[in-house]
Homo-oligomer: A and B are copies of this chain.
Amino acid sequence: MSHAIPLTTNNGNALNSRAPLKVAIIGGGLVGSLAALSFARRGHEVHLYEYREDIRRAELVQGRSINLALSQRGRKALAEVGLEQEVLATAIPMRGRMLHDIKGNRTVVIYDPCTNQCLYSVGRKYLNEVLLNAGEKFPNIHRHFEHKLNYVNFNEGRMEFKRAPSKEIVEDNADLIVGCDGAFSTVRQQMVRAPGFNYSQEYIEHGYLELCIPAKDGEFQMPENYLHIWPRDEFMMIALPNQDKSFTVTLSMPFKVFKTIRSSEDLLNFFHKYYADAVPLIGKERLIKDFFKSRPQHLVSVKCYPYHYGSKALILGDAAHAMVPYYGQGLNAGMEDCTLLLSLFNQPNLSTAEILEQFTELRWRDAHAICDLAMYNYVEMRDLTKRLSFRWRKWLDTQLFRWFPNFWVPLYNSVSFTSMPYSQCIANRKWQDKLLQNVLISASLAFVAMTAFKYYGGFQTITL
């Protein structure tokens, strides 16, 4: 079962002019398995440690979203390891948002009407499998599943793991330890204890829970090429299409609201009030079963500085910058970490210590920026999408983008469809806001002047 397409290089060492390192990657999820591939292609000896069993043999992956929105940064990182086309071939393009209002009316807002770029809905499990399978081609990748990290000594590069079935303690050491172990990273937990390590974790008041709109008669029940959104002020629901023609629905609302829904009746009343059009799509019985099957999950935003410790340890992806999922950039930002890191490894004159230091310095502003943007979009998606001013600005952005595609790229588009550094995307938006404001002021002044000119027969009257 190999989905991997042949890599463009025959020999990993050809990409690397530095002495091969022994690299331990903690976490075999999307970022970890991508990082393993990237290091292996450069001839490093890679040990990939994952505390779960091999996802390719697992039935269900618990506690993580089932599908993800892949955009430019993730695509670029996949292209670098020769996997972009394989992934896109089975991904489902989403050309825009389809907004569902409380009456069931649907409005489409296309992401990129100029160049038709879109997001791609991909299954987490499938993508992980593609990455792991591609790694099978590299004899220098050694996989260790069911190894849970207990402890790291960053100075010595020493790690201690507990093997799952036997509870046996296994030790290893490496020249470089890369923590790709997610939002609750054990590697980071140990970095947090180091003096000088700045860290924050912020939970939002909203939890989320996944539901499903199944396929009907072998077909999608809604148009599949959209990211469906039900914005409802304090609540929100989204749906992304899956390969099997179902949609994964994510219901997001404050924990205190989840708590008020205790019975099937409560649930159906709530859904009929806020998401009436979704009830027949999900199906009453399935809705009740799926809703009460699991508890709503917490959502956390994590920021740190630095991302490395000395010359032997680094964190990437959610371990370094977990974010709330409302910009669809968590995966893309994590994959972009690999792009940046490996571009530094391509510079032959840098030592490992210098690479890690530069990685932190080049990455932290952008990582903090995308965490902030995700938090901002959390408001936008459930609230602003309904407002007229937001729609108007979106329309104006689209028109300007259409007229000046190289000059006026709206924020969402620069984040999702370019590789512009996240912090620059924000700076760009601020500049656009300022320009629009000035144009608005100038236009108002011009209007006043013209009106005066019309009524008083000229400026002379006023200037006197």
Contacts and interface: CB of A to CB of B under 8 A. Distances in A.
Given A192-B192, A197-B201, A198-B202, 5 more contacts: A184-B193, A195-B298, A196-B203, A196-B298, A200-B200
7 contacts: A189-B193, A192-B201, A195-B298, A197-B203, A198-B201, A200-B200, A200-B201
Nearest to A255: B196
Closest 9 CB pairs of A and B: A200-B200, A195-B298, A196-B203, A199-B201, A198-B202, A198-B203, A196-B298, A198-B201, A199-B200
A180 to B, nearest CB: 19
A431 B41 CA distance: 63
Nearest to A195: B298
A186 to B, nearest CB: 10
A184 B197 CA distance: 12
Contacts of A193: 184, 189
Size range of the chain A interface in the assembly? 10 to 19
A297 to B, nearest CB: 8
A149 to B, nearest CB: 14
Contacts of A189: 193
A184 B298 CA distance: 25
Contacts of A298: 195-196
A197 B192 CA distance: 15
Instruction: Give the number of copies in the complex.
Output: 2
A200 B199 CA distance: 5
A200 B300 CA distance: 13
A211 to B, nearest CB: 21
A73 B298 CA distance: 37
A192 B185 CA distance: 12
A163 B15 CA distance: 53
Contacts of A195: 203, 298, 300
Nearest to A200: B200
A200 B202 CA distance: 8
Interface in A172-226: 184, 189, 192-193, 195-203
A57 to B, nearest CB: 28
Contacts of A200: 199-202
A184 B201 CA distance: 16
Contacts of A203: 195-198
Interface in A109-123: none
Q: Which of A184, A196, A298 has the most CB of B within 10 A?
A: A196
A187 to B, nearest CB: 14
Nearest to A297: B195
A198 B195 CA distance: 20
A202 to B, nearest CB: 5
Nearest to A299: B195
Contacts of A192: 192, 201
A201 B194 CA distance: 11
Contacts of A199: 199-201
A10 B331 CA distance: 64
Interface string A365-389: 0000000000000000000000000
Nearest to A184: B193
A240 to B, nearest CB: 24
A415 to B, nearest CB: 25
A197 B203 CA distance: 7
Nearest to A201: B199
Q: Which of A199, A298, A300 has the most CB of B within 10 A?
A: A199
A189 to B, nearest CB: 8
A80 B198 CA distance: 37
A134 to B, nearest CB: 33
